[in-house]
Chains A and B, each alone.
Chain A
Amino acid sequence: MNTTLLIFLLVLLAALLIGIALLAYRLVKGRMPRFSRKSLCIPYAVFLVFFVIIPMLVIFFYAFTDREMHFSFGNFVKFFSDPTKLSTIAYSIVIALITTVVCLLIAFPVAYILARSKMKKKYVVLMLFVLPMWINFVLRINAIRELFNWMGLLGETNYFNTVFGMVYDFLPFMILPLYTTIMKIDNSLYEASCDLGANGFVTFTRITLPLSVPGIMSGVTMVFLPSMTNYVVSDMLGNSMVTIIGKFIYEYFGSDWHMGSMVALVLLVVVFVSTWLTGGFQSDENVRGANL
Chain B
Amino acid sequence: MAEHIIELKNVTKYYDDNLVIDNVSFYVNKGEFITFLGPSGCGKTTTLRMIAGFDLPTSGQILLNGEDISKLPPNKRPVNTVFQRYALFPHLNVYENIAYGLKCKRVLNTYRNAEGKEYTKKERLSKKEIAEKVQKALEVVDLEGFEKRSISTLSGGQQQRVAIARAIVNEPEILLLDEPLGALDLKMRKEMQIELKEMHRRLGITFIYVTHDQEEALTMSDTIVVMSDGVVQQIGTPAKIYNEPANTFVADFIGESNIISGTVVGDKLVRFCGKNFVCLDQFEKGEQVDVVVRPEDIVMCAPEQGTLVGKVISVVFKGIHYEITAQLGKYELVINSTQKRTVGEIIGMKIAPDGIHLMRPNYTTNLFDGVITKHNTVEFADGEFECDVTQLYPGSHLDEEEYLITAEGEKIDLTGAEVKVEVGLYDIEISDDPKAGGTTGRIISIIYKGDHYRLIVRTEEEEEDFVFATEDLWNENDLVSVIIPKDKIKLTLKNPEEKKRLGGGA
Q: Which residues of A contact B (CB under 8 A)?
A: 186, 188-189, 191-199, 202, 206-207, 210-211
Q: With A186-B87, A188-B85 as given contacts, are A195 and B73 in contact (CB-CB < 8 Å)?
A: no
Docked Cα-Cα span, A119 to B338, in Å, equals 59
- With a cutoff of 8 Å between Cβ atoms, the chain B residues found around residue A194 in the complex are 53-54, 73-75
- With a cutoff of 8 Å between Cβ atoms, the chain B residues found around residue A211 in the complex are 90-91
The 8 closest A-B pairs by CB, nearest first: A196-B101, A188-B87, A197-B104, A192-B87, A194-B74, A198-B104, A210-B91, A195-B81
Docked Cα-Cα span, A196 to B167, in Å, equals 7
- With a cutoff of 8 Å between Cβ atoms, the chain B residues found around residue A202 in the complex are 104
Is B170 in the interface zone, CB < 8 Å from A?
yes
Is B166 in the interface zone, CB < 8 Å from A?
yes
Docked Cα-Cα span, A237 to B354, in Å, equals 92
Flag if B85 contacts A192 (CB, 8 Å). Answer: no
- With a cutoff of 8 Å between Cβ atoms, the chain B residues found around residue A188 in the complex are 83-85, 87
- With a cutoff of 8 Å between Cβ atoms, the chain B residues found around residue A199 in the complex are 75, 104
- With a cutoff of 8 Å between Cβ atoms, the chain A residues found around residue B52 in the complex are 191, 195
Flag if B80 contacts A196 (CB, 8 Å). Answer: yes
- With a cutoff of 8 Å between Cβ atoms, the chain A residues found around residue B105 in the complex are 197
Is B89 in the interface zone, CB < 8 Å from A?
yes
Most buried by A among B73, B81, B170: B81
Give residues of chain B (57-96) contacting chain A, Cβ–Cβ below 8 Å: 73-75, 79-81, 83-85, 87-91
Q: How many residues of B contact A (CB 8 A)?
A: 24
Give residues of chain B (127-185) contacting chain A, Cβ–Cβ below 8 Å: 166-167, 170
Q: Which residue of B lies closest to A199 (CB)?
A: B75
Q: With A191-B74, A210-B91, A211-B91 as given contacts, are A197 and B83 in contact (CB-CB < 8 Å)?
A: no
Q: How far is the CB of A216 from chain B (nearest CB, A)?
A: 13
Apart from A198-B75, A202-B104, what 15 extra A-B contacts exist at CB < 8 Å? A186-B87, A191-B74, A191-B83, A193-B89, A194-B75, A195-B52, A195-B80, A195-B167, A196-B80, A196-B100, A196-B101, A196-B170, A198-B104, A199-B104, A206-B100
Q: How far is the CB of B181 from chain A (nearest CB, A)?
A: 17
Q: Which residues of B contact A (CB under 8 A)?
A: 52-54, 73-75, 79-81, 83-85, 87-91, 100-101, 104-105, 166-167, 170
Q: Which residue of A lies closest to B78 (CB)?
A: A197
- With a cutoff of 8 Å between Cβ atoms, the chain A residues found around residue B101 in the complex are 196-197
The contact of B75 among A186, A189, A195, A210, by CB within 8 Å, is A195
- With a cutoff of 8 Å between Cβ atoms, the chain B residues found around residue A191 in the complex are 52, 54, 74, 81, 83, 87
Docked Cα-Cα span, A195 to B104, in Å, equals 11
Docked Cα-Cα span, A207 to B87, in Å, equals 12
Docked Cα-Cα span, A193 to B166, in Å, equals 11
Flag if B104 contacts A192 (CB, 8 Å). Answer: no
Docked Cα-Cα span, A207 to B103, in Å, equals 13
Docked Cα-Cα span, A194 to B101, in Å, equals 9
Flag if B90 contacts A192 (CB, 8 Å). Answer: no
Q: How far is the CB of A132 from chain B (nearest CB, A)?
A: 33
Q: With A188-B87, A191-B54, A191-B87 as given contacts, are A196 and B166 in contact (CB-CB < 8 Å)?
A: yes
Flag if A189 contacts B80 (CB, 8 Å). Answer: no
Q: How far is the CB of B127 from chain A (nearest CB, A)?
A: 17
Flag if A192 contacts B81 (CB, 8 Å). Answer: yes
- With a cutoff of 8 Å between Cβ atoms, the chain A residues found around residue B91 in the complex are 210-211
Could you list some 5 contacts between A and B, CB below 8 A? Answer: A188-B83, A188-B84, A194-B75, A199-B75, A207-B89
Q: Which residue of B lies closest to A197 (CB)?
A: B104
Q: Which residue of B lies closest to A188 (CB)?
A: B87
Q: How far is the CB of A137 from chain B (nearest CB, A)?
A: 36
- With a cutoff of 8 Å between Cβ atoms, the chain A residues found around residue B167 in the complex are 195-196
Docked Cα-Cα span, A207 to B101, in Å, equals 13
- With a cutoff of 8 Å between Cβ atoms, the chain B residues found around residue A189 in the complex are 87, 89
Docked Cα-Cα span, A191 to B84, in Å, equals 12
Q: Which residue of B lies closest to A210 (CB)?
A: B91
Most buried by B among A188, A189, A192, A202: A192
- With a cutoff of 8 Å between Cβ atoms, the chain A residues found around residue B90 in the complex are 211
Q: Which residue of B lies closest to A209 (CB)?
A: B91
Docked Cα-Cα span, A260 to B54, in Å, equals 61
Q: Which residue of B lies closest to A190 (CB)?
A: B87
Docked Cα-Cα span, A64 to B290, in Å, equals 97
- With a cutoff of 8 Å between Cβ atoms, the chain A residues found around residue B89 in the complex are 189, 192-193, 207
- With a cutoff of 8 Å between Cβ atoms, the chain B residues found around residue A198 in the complex are 75, 100, 104
Docked Cα-Cα span, A206 to B103, in Å, equals 11
Q: Which residue of B lies closest to A192 (CB)?
A: B87
- With a cutoff of 8 Å between Cβ atoms, the chain B residues found around residue A207 in the complex are 89
Docked Cα-Cα span, A199 to B74, in Å, equals 9
- With a cutoff of 8 Å between Cβ atoms, the chain A residues found around residue B80 in the complex are 195-196
Q: Which residue of A lies closest to B178 (CB)?
A: A188
Flag if A192 contacts B83 (CB, 8 Å). Answer: yes
Q: Which residue of A lies closest to B88 (CB)?
A: A192
- With a cutoff of 8 Å between Cβ atoms, the chain A residues found around residue B54 in the complex are 191, 194-195
- With a cutoff of 8 Å between Cβ atoms, the chain B residues found around residue A186 in the complex are 85, 87
Q: How far is the CB of A221 from chain B (nearest CB, A)?
A: 20
Flag if A196 contacts B104 (CB, 8 Å). Answer: yes
Docked Cα-Cα span, A30 to B107, in Å, equals 88
Q: How far is the CB of B122 from chain A (nearest CB, A)?
A: 13
Q: How far is the CB of A4 from chain B (nearest CB, A)?
A: 57
- With a cutoff of 8 Å between Cβ atoms, the chain B residues found around residue A193 in the complex are 89, 100
Most buried by B among A186, A193, A197: A197
- With a cutoff of 8 Å between Cβ atoms, the chain B residues found around residue A210 in the complex are 91
Docked Cα-Cα span, A192 to B101, in Å, equals 10
Q: Which residue of A lies closest to B80 (CB)?
A: A195
- With a cutoff of 8 Å between Cβ atoms, the chain B residues found around residue A206 in the complex are 100
- With a cutoff of 8 Å between Cβ atoms, the chain A residues found around residue B85 in the complex are 186, 188
Q: How far is the CB of A290 from chain B (nearest CB, A)?
A: 14
Q: How far is the CB of A186 from chain B (nearest CB, A)?
A: 7
- With a cutoff of 8 Å between Cβ atoms, the chain A residues found around residue B88 in the complex are 192
